[in-house]
Homo-oligomer: A and B are copies of this chain.
Amino acid sequence: MTQDRPIENLQAILSEEDLRSLELIKLLREIRPLDLAPLLLHFDPEDKAKIFDHLDSDSAAEVLFETDPRSRDEILEHARLDKLAPLFDRMPPDEAADIVTSLPPERRDPLLRLSPLLADHVRPLLAYDSETAGGKMTTEYVSVGENETAGGAMRAIQGSIGAETVNYIFVVNGEHRLRGVLSIRELIASRPDAPIQEIMVSDVISAPPEMDQEDVAGLVQKYNLAALPIVRQDGRLLGIVTVDDVIDVIQSEASEDMYHLAGTSPDRPTTQKFHRQVLDRFRFLLITLAGGLAIVLVQAQYGHALESMMAIVFFIPAIIGMAGNVGIQASTIMVRGVATGEIQPGRFGSVLRREVLVGATLGILFGFICGALAAWGSSLLGADSDLGYAVGLGMVSGLTVASLMGAVVPLACEKLGLDPALAAGPFVTTLNDLTALTLYLAIALTILKPEVG
């Protein structure tokens, strides 16, 4: 079914001067749309448009949604609106809404005029931020009235094959307020004349449309749900968020945290435009640079004092590097723990105490190791053997403080409603570098009292 070298085969046809459309159509039919979507990266914008033009409507819709953001933007930019509109009608409305909301209003509005069906489905979703429950939900689900029977519910399912393949039926009252839920499996096991209210579960887990997508994912994961009903404050059922959307949320939230911790932007970096990528990383590196220059100034402050004992200076990168790394360990543990729910707000205090203890233990261990090595090597470096005390104490204090700050900053951000990962990356590292340097130099100059030249 799937071809061996789809990219090469497509490129061969596309590179011909007179495009053999029938061949191209035939070739494309042999590739699953979900396999084709990631391959578009390898083609230039014009070839992407050609490929897209030759897909049947179902495949085109799937490829458009599943491909990388850059390819999608290029297709949406170059495709004719009257060709795009019918595609949207064939897509699940939450996916169509995701794409339509990403368009600038001058392209979005004519599209919604061309497709009244799309407009009906998409308008309610456009009201919510795309990273909330309302933005992620689909309005395609199966619901039945609370006074229905099992047999009636069965007929309702048979009439709604178009809905997403979620195997729950939601029970609503006359005002469309959510009253209960039952799985198709439970339905099949019931007598056809059983009242719905007897077989449904009425203790339903639901979420408001304003809930952040990360919390939605947490609920779905915690309760192993296949779909989470989204319910307005007055109890009306608005839509459902399905587990496949939740997987995407979990992946992208994890990516975002990782990219922020590393100091880069979370926007699929390898398919981003070149200048955006450089700019995004540049911004974060400016923080690191500011820290580095501050370190130059702090050292210059002690200039002459240091000249008479260079060995003090030689250990600065080692102490800064260790403090930075201990801080990143602590920050990553906090950021990830908060994201996965391992660290609940009630545990902040105990987690912090523990982290400080771990940091201090590591500080003492490495303080001993480094102090001993520095003392042993001091004659080689032309320094007093007291250098060992300075390096050792610098390590202890630097690592303990770095571990504390690495843990406190993300937890404080979380409490204040800020993104813990964004603050925890280069910012905390820079802070830790400077603190460790200042502590070490203060200790070293006190212990070693170098002659001021």
Contacts and interface: CB of A to CB of B under 8 A. Distances in A.
Nearest to A142: B185
A329 B255 contact: no
Contacts of A306: 310
A346 B346 CA distance: 47
Interface string A352-374: 00100110011001100110010
A293 interface: yes
Q: When A and B form their complex, which 10 residue pairs have the shortest distance between CB atoms, in order from nearest?
A: A292-B318, A262-B332, A254-B254, A167-B167, A299-B314, A224-B244, A269-B333, A296-B314, A295-B317, A264-B329
Tallying the copies of this chain within the complex gives 2
Interface string A244-266: 10111011001101110111100
Contact of A288 (B259, B321, B343, B369): B321
A380 interface: yes
A26 interface: no
Interface in A415-445: 426, 429-430, 433, 437
B361 A289 contact: no
Nearest to A332: B262
A116 interface: no
Interface size, A (range): 35 or more
A263 B327 CA distance: 11
Nearest to A361: B278
A381 interface: yes
From A246, A247, A250, name the one whose CB has the most chain B CB atoms within 10 angstroms: A247
Interface stretch (A107-115, A126-134, A154-162): A154-162
A267 B429 CA distance: 24
Given A342-B68, A381-B300, A188 B246 contact: no
7 contacts: A157-B185, A157-B189, A221-B247, A250-B254, A264-B333, A271-B342, A292-B319
A66 to B, nearest CB: 8
A238 to B, nearest CB: 22
A322 B362 contact: no
A189 B262 contact: no
A38 B341 contact: yes
Given A261-B332, A380-B300, A243 B247 contact: yes
A296 B274 contact: no
Contacts of A380: 300
Contact of A296 (B270, B318, B340, B430): B318
A322 B188 contact: no
A356 B79 CA distance: 33
A183 B154 contact: no
Contacts of A117: none
A439 to B, nearest CB: 14
A316 B316 contact: yes
Contacts of A274: 354, 357-358
A124 interface: no
A222 interface: yes
A203 interface: yes
A85 to B, nearest CB: 24
Contacts of A197: none
A30 to B, nearest CB: 12
Contacts of A81: none
Contact of A317 (B261, B369, B433): B433
Given A223-B34, A247-B221, A189 B158 contact: yes
A332 B292 contact: no
Interface string A304-333: 001100110111111111101110110111
A377 B183 CA distance: 72
B281 A370 contact: no
Contact of A261 (B246, B262, B324): B262
A446 interface: no
A274 to B, nearest CB: 7
Interface in A1-54: 1, 7, 34, 38, 41-42
